Structure 1
């Protein structure tokens, strides 16, 4: 069974690139582009890992992590946060499910290593 990754990102070009790279690595990948649809998609898709942008329409990444951490079933899903703003890393420091932070623009090779570590494939 393939491990599932959900990309929550509002920039289409980033979503397309990440989907291509992660599918090539053997993962089942889905995406959503707004914070509003993210929680419903997480409950439906049951991802093994979430790649989460900080700035999203509808609900920001920090709010999504708060919702996840308050839910018994969703709070254990590992999250890698992506952002162009280094200072946003501090928003996520207290959440144990946030396993890593990846600055944009990211180096794909480094991101893949972080994904494999967070999902337990390394």
Structure 2
């Protein structure tokens, strides 16, 4: 069975790029574009990894991680944070489920390596 990855990102071009790269690596990829949809989609898809942008319409990435960490059905799902604002990495340092931070623009080989590491692959 393929591992599932959920991309929560408001830019369609980034979703398309990451979906292409992760699908080629053999993962099943899902996506949503707003913070409001993120929690419902996580509960529906039960991903093995969440790729989460910081700046999102509705709820921001920090709020989503907080909600996930307080829900025992979601707290064990690893998260990779993505952002163009490198300073935002500090917001997530206290959350053990955040396994990596990827600054935009991505170096795809580094991004894939971090995703595989977070998934234990």
The CA distance in 2 between the partners of 1:118 and 1:98, in whole Å, is 9
What residue ranges of structure 2 are gaps of 5+ in the alignment?
none
What corresponds to 2:115 in structure 1?
115
Establish whether residue 47 from structure 1 lines up as the match of residue 47 from structure 2.
Answer: yes
What residue ranges of structure 1 are gaps of 5+ in the alignment?
none
The root-mean-square deviation of aligned C-alpha atoms, in Å, is 0.3
The CA distance in 1 between the partners of 2:112 and 2:86, in whole Å, is 20
Q: CA deviation at 1:108?
A: 0.5
**3-state DSSP class of the match of 1:5?**
strand
What TM-score do the two structures reach when normalised by structure 1? 0.99
What TM-score do the two structures reach when normalised by structure 2? 0.99
**3-state DSSP class of the match of 2:71?**
coil
What corresponds to 2:4 in structure 1?
4
**3-state DSSP class of the match of 2:96?**
coil
The CA distance in 1 between the partners of 2:58 and 2:69, in whole Å, is 19
Q: CA deviation at 1:46?
A: 0.1
The CA distance in 2 between the partners of 1:17 and 1:106, in whole Å, is 10
Q: CA deviation at 1:8?
A: 0.2
Aligned residues: 121
Q: Describe the superposition over 1:45-100 as per-residue Cα deviations: whole angstroms up to 9, x where unpaired.
A: 00000000000000000000000000001000000000000110000000000000
The CA distance in 2 between the partners of 1:46 and 1:73, in whole Å, is 9
Runs of 4+, deviation exceeding 4 Å: none
The CA distance in 2 between the partners of 1:110 and 1:94, in whole Å, is 23
